[in-house]
Structure 1
Amino acid sequence: MSTVTPADTFRRSVDADRSDRPLLDGRLRDLLAGKKILMTGVTGFIGEQLLWKILTELPETTPAVLVRRKRSADARARMITVVKKEIFRGVREAAGGPEALLDSRIDVIEGDLPNVPVLPSDIDVVVHCAGDVSFDPPIDQAFTTNVVGTQALMDRMIEACSDDDGNLLKVPHYVHISTAYTAGRRRGAIPEAAHVHTIDHRAETRAGLAMRDLIEAESRTSERLTALRKEAEREHRQAGYLTTAADTERRRLEWVQSELVTAGTERARSLGWTDVYTFTKALGERVVAEVGAGVEVSVVRPAIVESSWLHPYPGWIEGFKMAEPLILAYGRGELPEFPASPDSVIDIVPCDHVVNAILAVCATHPTIGRPEFYHVSSGARNPLTFQGIYGQIREYFSEHPLEGGPRGAARLPQWQFPGAGSVERLLATSERAHTIANRLLDAAPRSARTRKFANDLDRTRGRLSFLRRYLSLYNEYAQSELHFVDDHTLALTESLHPDDQPVFAFDTAVYDWKTYIQDVHCPSITSSIRRMDALRRRRGKRPTTMRDLGRDTAGSTAMAVFDLDGTIMSTNVIEQYLWSRLPGLSAPRQVAELGQVLQKLPSYLWAERRDRSAFLRAVYRRYAGADLAALEQFVDTELAPTILSRLSPDAGRRIREHRAAGHRTVLVTGVVRPLTRPLEPLFDVIVAADLATDAGGRCTGFLTGPPLVGESRAAWLHHYAALNGIDLARSFAYADSHSDLPMLAAVGHAVAVSPDIALMRAANANQWTSVEWKIAPMTPRWALPR
C-alpha cells in the first residue's frame, strides 16, 4: 500500500500531458536572442533583478524599461540611479559607465500607469512587474494601478503591434506578474488556471475609483469637520487657531486615507479575498484574459517573495518585504505572539527563483487565446510551516542576538500559538491599558519623571500600533490553508537546457530551510540593522538642534529667542504677581489677597487650558490701582534677587554663549515688563506685556496691547527677522510649553526645555533636542521678598 498525502491527491503527473504545455527547446540566450523585452516596475524589487539578469546572461536581448518621472528626476536619471547599484557593477564597468550602459543596452521610455505613452513597435515581449504591492492601499489607488494600469499597458502593447486598421502585424507575448494569493480566502488546492468567479471587474473598478470622491465629500461635511476640529483643539488650542486648523486638515486627510483603506479591505473580504491588493490583482488577471484574447498571454503567480537563494548573491534583497518587519520585531523581543496556525504553510520563494521563472516563461509561446498560469511557490514540494519558521528564526537570534540597549540583548518571546482570538484579546487588553495610562498622564504634574514615563508610554504605543497594523494585515495569511499546485512551473524548470540549470533553475525544492533562513535570509536582513546600531554607537546620540555655538558662523544674522516661565526661570505669572503684591500689604490683607487668588485659581487654570491670552489678562486685572513707577522701583531694589535666584544657571550660560557667538538675544514673554528688568543685561531685546496706566501713573488692570503668546510669537519673529536681516533658518528658539510650538517651528534650531508632554511629543516628532535645565532657587518657593 502506498502512502498518499492530501497534496498528492491534487497533483497531476508532470509527464502526463507535457505536449500540452509550452516548454523550452533550447538555451534561453538563444530563444530570447534578438528579442526586445519591455518591462514595467524595473525600479522595484523583482524588476531590478530581472533587468540585471537580462544584462548579465542574455547579451543579445534588449530590455526596454517604462519608468515614470519622480519629481525633478526624469526616467533616464532614475535609471542611471538604478544601474549605479552594486549588483550592476560588472555590466556597468564593462560598458564604460552608467550612461554608456543605458546607451548601449537599455531603451528607456518615460511613462506611468495608467498614463502609458506610445510604445515602440519592435517589442516582442511585455513583462508587467509594476503594481501596487502593499496589502492595504487606498481602494482607488489599488484599482488605478492593478486594474486600470494593466488594461492601459495591454492596449498600448496591442496598438504598437498593429497597423492603422487595428490588425496585428506581429503577435506579442504578454507576461503578467500577479500573485499566488489572488486565490483569495479559498482553502485547499489552487490549480495553475484562471480563478473561477463571477465578479464584474468593470463595475468594481468604477465603484472603486468613485470611492475617493464619496469619502472626500463626507470628510467635508459639517459633522465630520466639527469632530475633527474638536480633536485638534483638545491637543493644540493653546498653540493658536492656525496650528489647530492645520492639524484639523491633517486629521481630515488621514481620515480620508484610512476610510479608503477600510473601504478596499471590506469590499475585498465581502467578495472572498483577503485584502484589496489580492482582490485587484485577481481582477487584473481577468482584464489580462479579456484584452489579451488575440495575443500570447502568460500569468506568473509568485507566492511570498523574499531574498535570493543564489543570484546575484545569496541574501540579495532590496528593502523590507512581507516577513522582514516581523522577523526583526521578534529579534528585538517586540512580537510576543503571532496569530498563525502552527501547521499552516508560509509559502516563501526566493527572488532569483521568481526572476528565473519569468525569463523562462518569456521564452515560451503559449497558445493564442489560452493564457498559461505558473505558480512560483514552495509549499507543494518543500513546505515550511509557521512552527518551522518560528523555530528557525528563534534559533538564529538565540545564536546571533541583535544589539540591545543598556540591559543587553532583548529576551526572545516564546510563542505558544494560542490562536488568533487569544492574540486579539491580548492586544486589545494592552491597548485599553495604554489608553488609561495616557489619560492619567494628562493629570500628572510636569517633571523629568513624568516625561520619562511619557516616553516609555509612547514607545509602548509604537509597539502596539506596529502589532495592530501587521497582525491585521497578515492575520489571514497566517492562517491560510492554500496549497498552490505548481506542476506547470515544475515542468518548465525541468525543460531548461542542462547548460542553463546552474544559472536559470527555479525548482523550489532544491534548498533546505535551515540554510536559507539561518545562513542566507536572516543574516541579510539584519546586516543593515547591525551596521546602523554600530554607527549609532560610534556617533553617540542622534543629531542635535542644541548646537555647539563655538563653531557657529551665523553671527549677527542669527538670533536666539528664549521664553521665560518654565524655560529660563522656575516661576509663573501668579507667583510673580504675589511677589509684587503681598510684600506691601499688612498680614491680614496678605491673607485676604492670597485667599482671593486661591478662590480664583480654578478659573485661572481653566482659562489657561483654553486660551493663554485670556488667562494672562485675567491675572493682570489684579494689578489695577498699582503704581507702575513704584512697582518698577520695588523690582529694582527688592525683588531682583528673588527673580535672579530663579534663573537657571544652564540657561544663563547658554544665553551668554549666544552673545559670545554674535547672535542677537531676545526674550519673548507674557510676563509684565517690570518683572523682566533684572534680566535686561542678558538680552538685546525684551518683548513683554506692558501694563496700561491712567494719567496718574496707576495701572488700569489692562494691557497696552495683546500679550504675545502662541502663534503671535511666530508672527513677531518673522516680522522682526524681515526688518533686521535675520536668517531664521540659522536662528535658535528655546521654550517649554506646547503653546510655543509655532515659535519653535519658525527657526532652524528649536530646543524644548524641560517640556510639557505635548511639546515633548512634538519635539520627538520633529527631531528637536530636549534638554533639562535644572533650577535650584536660593530661597524657598513659599518665601516672599522683603
Structure 2
Amino acid sequence: MLPVSTIAARLDGQHVLLTGVTGFVGEALLHLMLAEAPGVRVTVLVRRKGSTSAEARTAALLRKPVFADIVEAAGGVEALMAARIEVLEGDLADAPELPPGLDAVVHCAGDVSFDPPVDEGFRTNVQGTRELLARVRDAGPDIHYVHISTAYVAGRRRGSIPEAPVDHDVDLEAELSWGLVQRQIVEHQSRSAFVLERERKKAERTHSRAGLLTAAAATEEARKEWVKRELVRIGSERARSLGWTDCYTFTKALGERVVEQHARDAAQPRRVSIVRPSIIESALERPHPGWIEGFKMAEPLILAYGRGELPEFPAAADTIVDIVPVDHVVAAIVAVLAHPPEAGDPAYFHVSSGDRNPLTFRMLYDNVRAYFDEHPFAAGDRGAVRLPDWRFPGASSVERLLSTSERAHQVANYVVGHAPRGDRTRDLARKLDQQGRRLEFLRRYLDLYREYAQAELRFSDANTLGLYRSLSPEDQAAFAFDTAVVDWSHYLREVHCPAVTAPVRRMDEARRKRKAATDPTLKPVSASSTGQIGAFFDMDGTLMSSNVIETYLWLRLREQTGSERWGELGRIAAKVPAMVRAERRERSAFLRAVYRQYDGARLADLDAIADEHLTDYVLSRLSPDAVRRIREHRNAGHRTVLITGAIRPLTRPLEPLFDHIEAAELAVDDRGVCTGFLASSPLVGESRAAWMRQYAAEHGIDLAASYGYADSHSDLPLLDAVGRPVAVKPDVSLFRHARRHRWTIVDWASSTSNTRTLNPAGDLR
C-alpha cells in the first residue's frame, strides 16, 4: 500500500480528463502521469484532424520516443491505451459530453500564440473554456477543475504580483460578443473599394506583365493577408487599451474570469485550481534534459542571436526574464491536481522563477553568448558566425536602429527592382531578400516581445512553494517544482541551448551534404512510365541571350543598304524608350509595337534570310547548358515544346531541337507582304498557360509531371502551369517568387561565341 500522504496515493483510482495532450505542456503532463501516477485512469479530449481520427492521433503521440519506456512496460501502444487511456473525440468549440465517473479535469488546451487573430483568441481561450465548463457541470458536482493559464494575465502591472484573482472590471460578455464578430466585420471591410483598389493597384504594378488574372489572384491573397493582420492589430490594440500586453494575455485573463464564475456559482460552488506558469521552456530533467516540442518564446531569439542576426534587444540588462522548465510546470500541475481546494474558493498557483531565483536579461545574454562562443554556428565557408555585442541601449534606441534599417532596405529594394537584369543584380536581390527577412523577423519579434522585455513583474509563488514543502521527500524528488534550485548557467549552456540548436545543426549539415552532392545548375531528368511528360521552354533570355528588338534587327538590316541600316538603327533607338515603357506595362503591347516595324517586309524574304544567313548565328548564341537540357529531355522520351513571342522565321534554326514550336505569326496580305500586325494575339503571360493546358490535353501530357523553363516574371503563368518549374537566370521579380516557392533556379552559361552583332548577315557599311 502507498502512504496516504503521497501524490500517487491521493490520485489512486481517480478518473482524470486531460485536454491539450497533443501540445507541449499536455504531452509532458500525460507522460508524467503515466509514469508517476499508475493508479490514474486518463481520458484525453483530442480533436480529429482531417481524415486522422482522435484515436489515431493519440496512438501516434504515444509512439513518440519520449513514451518508449512507458509503452514498452505496458506491452505496446494498444495495450497501454486499453489499460489506462480512453480517447474522447471532440473540439473545445463544440465540446462533447464528458464520460461518467470523472474526478478531475485538467484544461491545458488553448491558443498560446501571443498575437492570434482576435476572434480566434476569444473563441479558444474564452468561449472554449466556457463550453468545456458547461460539460463539466453536466458531468457532476464534485469534479476538481484545474485550469492552466499564464502568469502574464497580470498584464501591464508592475511590481509584485500575488497568487490571486486579477483585479479588473472588464465586461466579460461585452468583450466576448465583440471579439467573436470581428472577423465578419473585417471581412466586410476588406471588400471595400478603398482596400481592394489599393491592393489591386499594387498587384497590377507587380504582375501586369504576367496577366490580369495573375494580378487578381495576388490581389485576393493580399486581401486575405490584410484581414489576418487587421484582426491581430485589433486584438492587440483592444488588449493594450485595457491594460494587457497582447490579445493572448487579455483573453487568458477573461478565461480565468469564466473559471472563477464556475467556482463561485451560488447554487453549486465547485472546486477549482488555476495554475499560472511563466515562460515555459525545455525540461531540466524529465523526460530527459532539454526535451522540448517545437519552438517556444525564447528559441527564435536564441537561434537568431547565434546566427548573428539579432544585433540588440529592447530590454534593460537588469529586467527579469521569468523562465521555468516544462517538467517543473507539469510536476506542479499534478501536485495541484492531488490537492483540491474547498468548493467555491479557487486556489491560485504561480509556477515561476523570478521572485526567488531571478534570471536577468544580462545573465541570459552572457550565458547564451558563452554557449555560442564554445559551439558556434558555421557561416558557410567563412568560419564561425560573428556574434553581436549587446549593450542594452534601451527600447527607443533599438527602435530607431531598426526603423533606419527598414527605410534603407526599402530604398535599396526599389533600386534593385528597377536595375537591369544580370548575375550581379540577382545576387544583390538575394542579399536584400536575406536582409529583408532578417528585418521582418526583428520587427515581428521586437514588437511581440517588447512588452515582456520591459515587464517589471515579480510573480509571488508563495502558494506553490507551500504546496511543494508540504510534500514528502519522495514526492519532492518525483515531482520536483521548486524553481529556486535551477542553476541558470548549467540550464542555459548545457541543457537548453544544446537542445534548441541540435535540430538546426542537423538541418544545416543535411543542407551542406545536398549542396555538395548536387550539381546546382543541372538537375537529373527522370523518365516516367505513367504518362507523357512535357518540357516547355521560353526562348529569349532562356535559351539564348537575345530579345525581340535585337532579333528584329537581325532580319531587317540584311535587306537594307549601309545608309538605310544606320537610319533604321536611329529610328529604332528613338522608339526604344516608349517600347520599354510598354513592355513594363504589358508584354503583348510591347511585342505588337516591335512587330509593327515589319510592315512592308516580305515573309518569304524573312524565311530566306533566316535559313541562309541566321541559322549558324542563332545556333551559336544558344546556351550550351540549355541545349544539353533539351537533349536530356528528348533522350528521356519527353515531348519538347518551344513557346516564344519571337516571330516564326527566327525559330526555323531551332526546329530540330523541338517536337513543336509555338511562335508569333506575322499577318500578310495577298502578295505575302507583312502588314505590321500579327495573325493572332501573341502568346504571353496567362495566354501561354492557357495554350499549354490545351496542348497538354490534346497530346496526353501530364502537366503536373512536366517541366517549364523561363527567365521573366511575365512567364510566371507558364511556370505555374507545370509541376516542375525552373527559373533560368531570372529577373528580380521571378527570382524572388522562385525562392519563396522553392522552385529550381539555374544559371545556364551563355554561349562562348564571340560573335555578337546587331547585323549577323553583314557589316554596317
- Structure 1 residues 231-630: aligned runs within 5 Å: 231-293=202-264, 294-540=269-515, 548-549=523-524, 551-554=526-529, 557-630=532-605
The answer as to 2:698 corresponding to 1:723 is: yes
Equivalent pair of 1:347/1:383 in contact (CA under 8 Å): yes
Q: 2:120 aligned to 126, 141, 148, which one? A: 141
Per-residue deviation, 1:715: 1.2
The answer as to 2:53 corresponding to 1:74 is: yes
- Superimposed CA distance per residue, residues 616-669 of structure 1 (whole angstroms, 9 cap, x where no aligned partner): 111111111111111101110112222222111111111111111111111000
Farther-moved stretch of structure 1 (710-719 vs 552-561): 552-561
> What is residue 11 of structure 1 aligned with on the other side?
none
Per-residue deviation, 1:545: 9.8
Partners of 1:367 and 1:781 lie apart in 2 by 93
Partners of 1:356 and 1:723 lie apart in 2 by 66
Partners of 2:662 and 2:78 lie apart in 1 by 58
Partners of 1:636 and 1:228 lie apart in 2 by 49
> What is residue 673 of structure 2 aligned with on the other side?
698
Cα distance change of structure 1 residues 758 and 548 upon mapping to structure 2, 3 Å threshold: closer
> What is residue 113 of structure 1 aligned with on the other side?
92
Per-residue deviation, 1:490: 0.2
> What is residue 84 of structure 1 aligned with on the other side?
63
- Share of identical aligned residues, percent? 58
SS in 1 for 2:429: helix
Per-residue deviation, 1:499: 1.6
SS in 2 for 1:583: helix
Please tell me the residue identity of whatever aligns with 1:50.
L
> What is residue 150 of structure 2 aligned with on the other side?
179
Per-residue deviation, 1:768: 1.2
Cα distance change of structure 1 residues 369 and 713 upon mapping to structure 2, 3 Å threshold: same
SS in 2 for 1:517: helix
Per-residue deviation, 1:554: 4.8
> What is residue 76 of structure 2 aligned with on the other side?
97
Equivalent pair of 1:545/1:751 in contact (CA under 8 Å): no
Farther-moved stretch of structure 1 (719-728 vs 317-326): 719-728
Equivalent pair of 2:118/2:231 in contact (CA under 8 Å): yes
- Superimposed CA distance per residue, residues 581-626 of structure 1 (whole angstroms, 9 cap, x where no aligned partner): 1121123322222222122211111111111111111111111111
SS in 2 for 1:238: coil
Partners of 1:55 and 1:45 lie apart in 2 by 16
Per-residue deviation, 1:542: 9.5
Please tell me the residue identity of whatever aligns with 2:8.
R
Please tell me the residue identity of whatever aligns with 1:183.
A
Cα distance change of structure 1 residues 115 and 541 upon mapping to structure 2, 3 Å threshold: farther
Q: 1:785 aligned to 758, 761, 764, which one? A: 761
Equivalent pair of 1:555/1:661 in contact (CA under 8 Å): no
Partners of 2:531 and 2:368 lie apart in 1 by 57
Cα distance change of structure 1 residues 556 and 285 upon mapping to structure 2, 3 Å threshold: closer
Please tell me the residue identity of whatever aligns with 1:631.
L
Partners of 1:254 and 1:781 lie apart in 2 by 48
Equivalent pair of 1:556/1:663 in contact (CA under 8 Å): no
Please tell me the residue identity of whatever aligns with 2:408.
A
Per-residue deviation, 1:549: 4.2
Cα distance change of structure 1 residues 449 and 55 upon mapping to structure 2, 3 Å threshold: same
Cα distance change of structure 1 residues 429 and 754 upon mapping to structure 2, 3 Å threshold: same
Partners of 1:510 and 1:481 lie apart in 2 by 22
The answer as to 2:205 corresponding to 1:229 is: no
> What is residue 16 of structure 1 aligned with on the other side?
none
Cα distance change of structure 1 residues 464 and 730 upon mapping to structure 2, 3 Å threshold: same
Partners of 2:517 and 2:216 lie apart in 1 by 31
Cα distance change of structure 1 residues 86 and 80 upon mapping to structure 2, 3 Å threshold: same
Cα distance change of structure 1 residues 501 and 556 upon mapping to structure 2, 3 Å threshold: closer
> What is residue 125 of structure 1 aligned with on the other side?
104
Partners of 1:721 and 1:380 lie apart in 2 by 69
SS in 2 for 1:142: helix
Unaligned runs of 5+ in 2: none
> What is residue 55 of structure 1 aligned with on the other side?
34
Equivalent pair of 1:636/1:677 in contact (CA under 8 Å): yes
> What is residue 202 of structure 1 aligned with on the other side?
173
Per-residue deviation, 1:121: 2.0
Per-residue deviation, 1:536: 2.1
- Superimposed CA distance per residue, residues 224-280 of structure 1 (whole angstroms, 9 cap, x where no aligned partner): 101011111111111112211111110000000000000000000001000000000
> What is residue 17 of structure 1 aligned with on the other side?
none
Q: 2:628 aligned to 653, 658, 664, which one? A: 653
Partners of 1:398 and 1:383 lie apart in 2 by 24
- Superimposed CA distance per residue, residues 536-594 of structure 1 (whole angstroms, 9 cap, x where no aligned partner): 22332698997754643359711111100000011111111111111211233222222
Q: CA RMSD in A?
A: 1.5
- Superimposed CA distance per residue, residues 296-346 of structure 1 (whole angstroms, 9 cap, x where no aligned partner): 011000000001111111111111100001011111111100000111111
SS in 1 for 2:485: coil
Farther-moved stretch of structure 1 (595-604 vs 359-368): 595-604
Please tell me the residue identity of whatever aligns with 1:91.
I
Equivalent pair of 1:348/1:378 in contact (CA under 8 Å): yes
SS in 2 for 1:688: strand
SS in 1 for 2:209: helix
SS in 1 for 2:295: coil
Unaligned runs of 5+ in 1: 1-23, 162-167
| Equivalent pairs, count | 755
Equivalent pair of 2:550/2:758 in contact (CA under 8 Å): no
Per-residue deviation, 1:25: 6.7
Partners of 1:224 and 1:542 lie apart in 2 by 48
Partners of 1:556 and 1:116 lie apart in 2 by 48
Partners of 1:549 and 1:559 lie apart in 2 by 15
Q: 2:182 aligned to 197, 202, 211, which one? A: 211
Partners of 1:533 and 1:328 lie apart in 2 by 13
TM-score (norm 2): 0.97
> What is residue 190 of structure 1 aligned with on the other side?
161
Equivalent pair of 1:327/1:393 in contact (CA under 8 Å): yes
SS in 2 for 1:557: coil
Cα distance change of structure 1 residues 308 and 87 upon mapping to structure 2, 3 Å threshold: same
- Superimposed CA distance per residue, residues 513-532 of structure 1 (whole angstroms, 9 cap, x where no aligned partner): 11111111111111111222
Equivalent pair of 1:403/1:530 in contact (CA under 8 Å): no
Please tell me the residue identity of whatever aligns with 1:627.
R
Partners of 2:562 and 2:510 lie apart in 1 by 64
Farther-moved stretch of structure 1 (84-93 vs 533-542): 533-542
Please tell me the residue identity of whatever aligns with 2:397.
S
